[in-house]
Amino acid sequence: MHGTFSAIGFLTRTRRPGRIDMTDILSWLWLVGGTLAVLIPVIWAGLSSLKPEAEITRFPPTLLPRAAVQVEVQGFDKPLSLWNATVDGEAREMAMVRRIGLKAQMVDPKYPGKPVSVDTRSISPVQRLTVATENYTDPLTRFNFLTFLKNSVFVTFVATLLTLIVNALAAFALSKYRFRGDTAIFVLIISTLMIPLTVVMVPAYLVVVGVGLVDNLWGVIIPTVASPTGVFLLRQYMLTIPDELIEAARVDAASEFRIFWRIVLPLTAPALAVLAIFSVLWRWNDFLWPLIVLSSRENFTLQVGLNAFQGEFSVQWHYILAMTFLSLVPVTLVFLFLQRYITTGIAGTGMK
Amino acid sequence: MSSTPQASWRLHVATGGTDMAGATGFADRALDLAMAVVEAPINAVERLIGKRRMPYLFLAPNLVLFGIFTFLPIAIAVGYAFTGGTELLISNRPFVGLDNFRTLLSCESYLVPGSCEESLFWTAIWNTLWFVGFNVAATLLVALVTALILDRAIAARGFFRAMFFYPVLLSPVVIGLIWKWFLDRNGLLNAFLQMLGVPPEIFLLEVGWSRFFVVVVSVWFHMGFYTLILLAGLQAIPKDLYEAAAIDAATPSRTLLRITLPLLGPNLIVVLVLLMIKSVQIFDEAWVLTNGGGPGTANTFLVQYIYQMAFAGDLRLYGLASAASVLMGLVLLVLTLVQLRLGKKAES
Amino acid sequence: MGDLRLTNLNKSYGAVAALHDVNLSIDNGEFVVFVGPSGCGKSTLLRIIAGLEDITSGAIAIGGRDVGALSPAERKIAMVFQSYALYPHMSVRKNLAFGLENLKFKRAEIDARIAEAARMLAIEPYLDRKPRQLSGGQRQRVAIGRAIVREPAIFLFDEPLSNLDAALRVQTRAEITKLHRQMQTTMIYVTHDQVEAMTMADKIVVLRAGRVEQVGTPLELFDFPANLFVAGFLGSPRMNILKGRIVIGDDRRVLVDVGQPALLESDVDPASVSAGQEVLAGIRPAHFVVSEEGLPFEVQYHESLGTETYVYGTLQGQAEQVIVHQPGHFAPAAGAVLKVMPQEGRLHVFDPASELALARRHGGH
């Protein structure tokens, strides 16, 4: 009793303890309603992805993935389907031998004797919770899903690594040196924040054609490696590293590159982590650019592949949803473990 | 009592810190290895050009990539906008002057896309404008209300904030597919409506409903991001102002109108413009959700138009697509300048 | 060798000149302190010696070798920074090893030098800790240790004690002095604290607004300040400055009239002054004696420090407040009038226009 009370007390705790007014109630309705709105489509898709092909389009749908149960019965070659039936005024699970019009021939699976005749209008199939793992295993084995996955992992990993190094080098130059044109270069880089990919995608594609990277994963990776957001975020962070550390290293006979690699880079780890998380998310979720650059199936990334699937298997939702869910997993894991990094990173830099 | 979530936060941060420290041993070795490979040539360059020219070397990869994949395309976009034909090489393309712009802009009435020479362009423009209007209003309202609620000292704030933020991280394709399934003829929404006795509807094949749900999905997708920015703005408002207002016997609604919103004002405007810039560029999730802009052209937006002209059709009309890109770029540039201007004002 | 020559050194940032025509010679093994108020250019001068800043014109030589174009690493110097600048992500041992590794020393040599420095500075127990796990004093030692392992020709210290609390500062001061005696290496030490300058230096360089004001041993500077600025800067409480007039007495002795009834005796060279010339007379608070005769000093209040007492008051005809130091307990009532006189040979006389000390009689004090 006491436990229940304190749980309610915890959940309804507000600025003024002991008083719950209308605003609090409305706030809670909004938050709980919003949470449900976020979760229901995702969970619904997740549950659906576990349903067998025959079940997924049943309307009205069942919440959990279920399938009809089959049993082996002595004296019958094939497994029989199991039904709930009322025999002699007693509710029992019976196996159906055959069905003729409104009558069904049924046996008790435990004591198979002579089949009894039952009215089919009074029986319903016995269903058990069944997970259709083939929805997941089939795409992995039969379709190109593994290729897409491999391509996406490659693009995400290589692009993130390059993004970190290229932008950290630029940020180092722009935060720890005074040189002719430093401000102009910084403004030039930041100004590219104003030019979204959607505006330059046509000519950027032409450039990719020109350098021979069309339908090539490197054509997806390289054009977006230089990131103004990345330069800005890392530069702001590097500005907080005391200049005396750089000077101490210089007195310690470190080359400029060694200062970058051994002093500045390790000390920028928190900002690099934030940028790495974002880069992984950007690259993993990227759609329009790979869609433009990649044309042959063996080069598709996961997102482009998913889009292609939904065009081809438009009725095979069990496969589409399963693959959708597989591509959701890494992002969800990143979110669960690094949620705090991401939210503070966004609140601090306003980037997405 | 209220310090408990704070404490667990700190604990989280602290353990995060040790994890990082544990990882540095490995990271150190990886860095050492990479260093050994690249250091010698870079140091040779340093001896050659001197320490003070090294920043140029460090900037070089970045600037080369920006030059090739951002600045060069801008120049090309402008060039292609004045050429016609379907050839890829600019040397093979005939110069057509302002023809592409004339094609895009010639209209008997801009209000009636059918009366325009390039009617799909104007359909896309009007679709985009309507989408931007509804999407900006709805997202802003939902994000603001959520941020205001989360700013109250409410229990489990971190949980809710994370919950609302989760969709932001998902891929647009995944979101399009999840919602497509949710809105399917056999989907959960129709099942729910049937429980209420409403006949099922194929939402995404009906013009009105499909447009409505494109906005719903967009709000669902992005509101967490704007909530986060507004929440950061709200939490920057000094708490003693609220205490002073309480001492001055201000009612909650008066406090909201006279203190919270005016102080949040600059943030609100920045979010508004940012939201407009992003909304104009709607493509990915709408494309997947509506099977490429359907039904018909009810959800064909500007970016989709450009994409189709340049990449999807049998004829690859790069000139027309570039001209449309240039026009959209100008609109975005104006919006961005407004944002920078307001952002600077908000800072001071 | 650790001797240093600066010749006609100038440094400017755009139109702003930071150092004017600095000439300085430091011998091998000297402990030299650069002192001056903030913004006087002392840190800039140190950073120029280190090679962290370029010179605009002039020459800089270490051990007879022109080092103006060399990088810090090539100058055989080591530096202890104000913030210590320990690499926060490295253990103490790695902090010490970093410079030697960069210079491609053998592992055994690195280990030997670290062991020797750690023993000298008693930091052996902390070698595997990170800097943030150390106290301020321990970090300070590590920073010094990082300089020692390099075995430099010159040690440079940039206000190394300013981040320590008062007690630790006194202790560390003594340790650095001891270190200098042990190592016999040239050390250049920048501080704004005149006590550090007085207690540690073989030679003090006083800087103001980018110019060298005076160079000398601590006592030379204290006893014979070359100008008003040096006189005011060294010594605490500050030297009292009185307005006065030259009176030429019998035997051509130069006296200063700062208000009747008494004239103050000085050892100014009579050849350099004329009677009636306006001057400024400087007397340190500790150099006043209370006597039967002298200048009437009206007491305003006093501060008793137990071992000594500072009496604040005014001299007749002088606008500025005057401080008089008395040993031990001394409690004059407010409003009381004492008679005070400077000790013999302790009067400093300056020209008000040039602010330079007037030439003293040959051999006189």
Q: Residue C27 has what pLDDT?
A: 93
pTM of the predicted model as reported, rounded to 2 decimal places: 0.79
pLDDT at B32 > cutoff 90: no
Domain B99-347 bears CATH identifier 1.20.120.1230: no
Answer whether C89 touches A (CB < 8 Å): yes
- We report the CATH number of the domain holding residue C82 as 3.40.50.300
Domain shared by C201 and C315, yes or no: no
Answer yes or no: do C196 and C343 share one domain.
Answer: no
Q: How many domains, in total, are found in chain C?
A: 2
Give the confidence band of A1 by pLDDT, cuts at 50, 70, 90.
very low
Asked if residue B205 has pLDDT above 80, the reply is yes
**Cα–Cα distance for residue pair C172/C137, rounded to 1 Å:** 8
Domain-ending residue, one of C231, C250, C284: C231
Q: Is the preceding peptide bond at C237 cis, omega within 30 degrees of 0? A: yes
Fill in the DSSP letter of residue B260. I
Residues of C in contact with A255 (CB under 8 A): 102
C71 touches chain A (CB under 8 A): yes
With respect to residue C159, please indicate whether it lies within any of the assigned structural domains.
Answer: yes
Cα dihedral across residues C75, C79, C81, C84: positive or negative: positive
**C94 and C195, same structural domain?**
yes
Distance CA C11, CA C18 (A): 5
Task: Burial-class residue C54 by CB neighbours within 10 Å (0-12, 13-18, 19+).
Answer: exposed
Which residue out of A6, A149, A182, A202 would a mutagenesis test of the B interface target, given it has the greatest number of B Cβ atoms within 10 Å? A202
Q: Is A244 close to C83, i.e. CB distance below 8 A?
A: yes
Chain A positions touching B185 (Cβ under 8 A) are 59
Residue found under tokens 């130059």: A173
Tokens standing for residue A324: 């959708």
- Which of C46, C52, C71 to probe the A interface (max A CBs under 10 A)? C52
HSE-CB of C180 using CA atoms within 13 angstroms: 25
A254 touches chain C (CB under 8 A): yes
Query: Residue B162 pLDDT > 70, yes or no?
Result: yes
The model's pLDDT over A283-293, given as tens digits with 9 standing for 90+, comes to 988 888 999 89
Does the pLDDT of residue A303 top 70, yes or no?
yes
Q: What is the mean pLDDT of residues B209-215?
A: 94
Q: How confident is the model at residue C36 (pLDDT cuts 50, 70, 90)?
A: very high
Q: Which residue ranges make up each domain of chain B? A: 5-77, 99-347
* d(CA A253, nearest CA chain C) in Å: 4
Residue C283, classed as helix, strand or coil, is: strand
Indicate whether A61 belongs to any domain: no
Cα gap C252→C230, rounded to integer Å: 28
Whether residues A13 and A75 fall in one domain? no
More confident residue, C346 or A87: C346
Q: What is the pLDDT of residue B135?
A: 96
Please report residues of A whose CB lies closer than 8 A to that of C51: 250-251
How many percent of chain A have pLDDT more than 90?
A: 26
Task: Find all residues with CB under 8 Å of B151, minimum gap 6, and list them.
Answer: B231, B234, B235
Give the percent of chain C with pLDDT over 90. Answer: 58
Pick from A101-115, B280-294, C28-42: least confident: A101-115
| Residue A63 within a domain | no
Are residue C60 and residue C171 in the same domain, yes or no?
A: yes
pLDDT of B20: 40
Q: Within this chain, do residues C217 and C85 fall inside the same structural domain, yes or no?
A: yes
Average pLDDT (C277-288) is 91
- Please report the pLDDT score of residue B5 as a whole number: 33
In a domain? residue A156:
yes
Cα–Cα dist A122/A85, whole Å: 7
Residue B86 makes CB contacts below 8 A (sequence gap 6+) with: B315, B316, B317, B318
Instruction: Tell which residue, B308, B281, B280, has the closest CA to residue B294.
Output: B308
What tokens appear for B171 in the block? 């891929």
Q: At C210, which helix (H) or strand (E)?
A: none
Contact A169 B31 (CB under 8 A): no
Nearest chain B Cα distance for residue A126, angstroms: 22
Q: Do the beta carbons of residue C274 and residue C245 sit within 8 Å? A: no
pLDDT of B219 above 80: yes
Please indicate if any CB of chain A lies within 8 Å of the CB of C48. no
Same domain? For C220 and C262 the reply is no
Cis previous bond, B295, omega within 30: yes
The pLDDT of residue A18: 54
Q: Is the pLDDT of residue C330 over 90?
A: no
**Cβ contact A67:A55 at 8 Å:** yes
Whether residue A267 lies within 8 A of chain C, CB to CB, comes out as: yes
Of all residues in chain A, the one with the smallest CA distance to C83 is A244
Mean pLDDT, range C334-361, rounded to an integer: 89
* Same domain flag for A177 and A306: yes
Q: How confident is the model at residue C145 (pLDDT cuts 50, 70, 90)?
A: very high
The answer to whether C245 and C228 have CB atoms below 8 angstroms apart is no
Residues A75 and A37 in one domain: no
CA contacts within 13 A on the Cβ side of B304: 24
In sequence order, what are the residues at sequence separation of 6 or more whose Cβ sits closer than 8 angstroms to the Cβ of residue B143?
Answer: B223, B226, B227, B230, B271
Asked which of C231, C248, C278 is the last residue of a domain, the reply is: C231
Q: Which pLDDT belongs to residue A78?
A: 77
Contact B282, B135 (CB under 8 A): yes
Taking an 8 Å cut-off on Cβ atoms, the answer to whether A249 and C73 are in contact is no
What angle (nearest 5°) sits at the alpha carbon of residue C305, between those of residues C304 and C310? 55
pLDDT at residue B11, as a whole number:
29
pLDDT tens digits, residue range A316-346? 788 888 888 888 888 888 888 877 777 766 6
Q: Check whether residue A239 and residue A306 sit in a common domain.
A: yes
Between residues C113 and A110, which one has the greater pLDDT?
Answer: C113
Q: Do A303 and B173 touch (CB under 8 A)?
A: yes
Please tell me the predicted confidence (pLDDT) of residue A20: 64
Contact between chains at A251 and C98 (C-beta distance less than 8 A): no
Contact B180, B205 (CB under 8 A): no
Closest residue in chain A to residue C147, using alpha carbons only: A252
Q: Are residues A9 and A93 in the same domain?
A: no
CA distance B54 to B38: 15
Residue A6 has what pLDDT? 43
Mean pLDDT of C168-197: 91
Set of chain A residues whose Cβ sits within 8 Å of the Cβ of B2: 13
Contact between C325 and C286 (Cβ < 8 Å): yes
Are A10 and A117 found together in one domain?
no
Q: Are strands C203-208 and C211-216 parallel, antiparallel or unpaired?
A: antiparallel
Q: How confident is the model at residue C349 (pLDDT cuts 50, 70, 90)?
A: very high
User: Could you tell me if C92 and C131 lie in one domain?
Assistant: yes
CA distance C92 to chain A (A): 14
Tokens of A266: 């390790």
* Residue that has been written with the tokens 């007014």 in this structure: A21
Confidence label for A12 from pLDDT (cuts 50, 70 and 90): very low
A259 and A302 inside one domain: yes
Say yes or no to pLDDT of B90 above 90. no
Q: Which residue has the tokens 């992005």?
A: B222
From A193-207, B47-61, C92-106, C172-186, the region with the lowest mean pLDDT: A193-207
* Cβ separation A255–B194 shorter than 8 A: no
Chain A positions touching C77 (Cβ under 8 A) are 251
CA dihedral A118, A130, A40, A7 (to 10 degrees): 100
Q: Among all residues of chain B, which has the CA nearest to that of A10?
A: B155
What is the C-alpha to C-alpha distance for residues C359 and B27, in angstroms, rounded to an integer? 68
DSSP-H helix ranges across B153-282: 157-165, 172-182, 188-195, 207-235, 239-247, 252-255, 261-280
Cβ C98–A254 below 8 Å, yes or no? yes
Return the number of other C-beta atoms located less than 10 Å from residue C7's C-beta. Answer: 15
* d(C-alpha C29, C-alpha B294), whole Å: 86
Tell me the Ramachandran region of residue B57: left when phi exceeds 0, alpha when psi lies from -120 to 50, beta otherwise: alpha
Burial class from Cβ neighbours inside 10 Å (0-12, 13-18, 19+) for residue B255 reads: middle
What mean pLDDT do residues A19-35 have? 84
Same domain as A91, residue A40: no
Sign, CA torsion C272/C274/C275/C281: negative
Can you tell me whether residue C41 is helix, strand or coil? coil
Find the residue in A nearest to C150 (Cα): A252
Q: Please tell me which of the candidates A244, A263, A266 has its beta carbon nearest to residue C81.
A: A244
Q: What stretches of A242-286 adopt beta strand conformation (E)? A: none
For residue A254, is pLDDT > 80? yes
Contacts of C81 in chain A (CB under 8 A): 244, 247-248
My answer on whether C33 and C145 are in the same domain is yes
Higher pLDDT, A100 or C49: C49
ipTM of this predicted complex?
Answer: 0.81
Mean pLDDT (chain C, rounded): 90
pLDDT tens by residue, A128-182: 777 777 778 877 777 778 899 899 999 999 999 999 999 999 999 999 998 888 8
Judgement on whether residues A225 and A161 belong to the same structural domain of the protein: yes
Distance CA B136, CA B124 (A): 17
Flag whether A159 is in a domain: yes
Q: Which two tokens stand for residue A332?
A: 């969800």
DSSP string spanning C151-200? --SEEEEESTTTTS-HHHHHHHHHHHHHHHHHH--EEEEEES-HHHHHHH
Mark yes or no for CB contact C85/A262 under 8 Å. Answer: no
What is the model's pLDDT at position B25?
63
Neighbours of B347 (CB within 10 A): 8
For residues C343 and C341, give the distance between their C-alpha atoms in angstroms, rounded to a whole number.
Answer: 7
Cβ contacts of A252 on chain C, cutoff 8 Å:
73, 98-99, 102, 146, 150
The pLDDT value given to residue B229: 85
Domain that holds residue C182: 4-231
Q: Are residues A24 and A102 in the same domain?
A: no
Distance in angstroms (rounded) separating the CA atoms of residues C9 and C207: 14
Q: How far apart are CA B41 and CA A261, in angstroms?
A: 14
Looking at the structure, do residues A96 and A190 belong to the same domain, yes or no?
no
Q: Which residues contact B31 (CB under 8 A, 6 or more apart)?
A: A261, A262, A265, A266
Task: Tell whether A214 is covered by a domain.
Answer: yes
Residue C301: beta bridge partners? C312
* CA dihedral of residues C155, C67, C8, A248 (deg, nearest 10): -40
The strand pairing partners of C215, in sequence order, are C205
Q: Is residue C361 part of a domain?
A: no
Overall domain count for chain A: 3
Choose among B177, B186, B329: nearest Cβ to A57. Answer: B186
Residue B26 scores a pLDDT above 90: no
Q: Give the Cα separation of B112 and B273 in Å (integer).
A: 27
Give B35 or B167, the one with higher predicted confidence: B167
- Return d(Cα A28, Cα A36) in angstroms, integer: 12
Percent of chain B with pLDDT over 70: 90
When mean pLDDT is compared over A188-197, A201-210, A246-255, the highest value belongs to A246-255
For residue C216, the cross-strand partners are C204
Is residue C192, in this structure, part of any structural domain at all?
yes
Question: Is A54's Cβ below 8 Å from some Cβ in C?
Answer: no
User: Is A11's pLDDT higher than 70?
Assistant: no
- Give CA–CA dist B333/B346, Å, rounded: 19
Q: Is residue C356 part of a domain?
A: no
User: A8 pLDDT band (50/70/90 cuts)?
Assistant: very low
- Report the residue from A207, A224, A261 with minimal CB separation from B72: A207
- The answer to whether B101 and B83 have CB atoms below 8 angstroms apart is no
Q: Number of A:B CB contacts under 8 A?
A: 303
- Residue C364 confidence (pLDDT): 46
In a domain? residue A58: no
Does C64 share its domain with C157?
yes
Which residues span the domain enclosing A106?
70-125
Smallest CA-to-CA distance from C196 within C172, C180, C215, C212 is with: C172
| Domain edge (last residue) among C202, C231, C260 | C231
Report the length, in residues, of chain A: 352
Instruction: Specify whether C65 is located in the same domain as C171.
Output: yes
